[in-house]
């Protein structure tokens, strides 16, 4: 009977140790998740601030959170942004108009019917041969 009681106590203590270990593992997982969430929030905040700076062509959000996340933000390919020919502001390539001056972007190429020279979309006449456009 004594041996059975000792065995039950050992099993019970082992179970309690396992439960405590399991609870600590869950807490460790929760702490890791919270830390990852905090890093994600810092990155999103810094990304939004950088996008506002790019949109407005300013440096108004130069602070510690930007410096912390500067190395973590992925650098976009060069064709992601373009410069406005009118005011030289950098805007996302998908924009149809400049966010600062309102200049419209038109990526289509136009050619003169007379001399086949490339002309701008808003040209009234061909710069090469002088032909008038409608």
Predicted pLDDT of residue 107 = 62
Question: 41 in helix, strand or coil?
Answer: helix
pTM reported for the whole predicted model: 0.34
Are the beta carbons of 130 and 121 closer than 8 angstroms?
A: no
126 C-beta neighbours (distance < 10 Å), count: 20
31-87 pLDDT per residue, tens:
999 988 888 777 777 777 777 777 777 766 555 555 555 555 555 455 677 788 788
């Amino acid at each position: 009977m004594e041996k059975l009681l000792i065995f039950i106590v050992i099993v019970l203590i082992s179970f309690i140790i396992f439960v405590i270990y399991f609870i600590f593992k869950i807490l460790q997982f929760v702490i890791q998740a919270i830390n990852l969430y905090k890093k994600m929030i810092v990155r999103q905040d810094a990304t939004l601030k950088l996008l506002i700076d790019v949109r407005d062509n300013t440096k108004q959000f130069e602070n510690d959170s930007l410096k912390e996340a500067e190395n973590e933000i992925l650098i976009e390919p060069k064709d992601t942004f373009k410069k406005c020919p009118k005011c030289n502001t950098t805007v996302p390539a998908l924009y149809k108009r400049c966010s600062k001056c309102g200049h419209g972007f038109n990526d289509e190429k136009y050619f003169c019917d007379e001399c086949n020279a490339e002309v701008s979309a808003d040209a009234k006449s061909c710069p090469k041969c002088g032909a008038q456009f409608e």
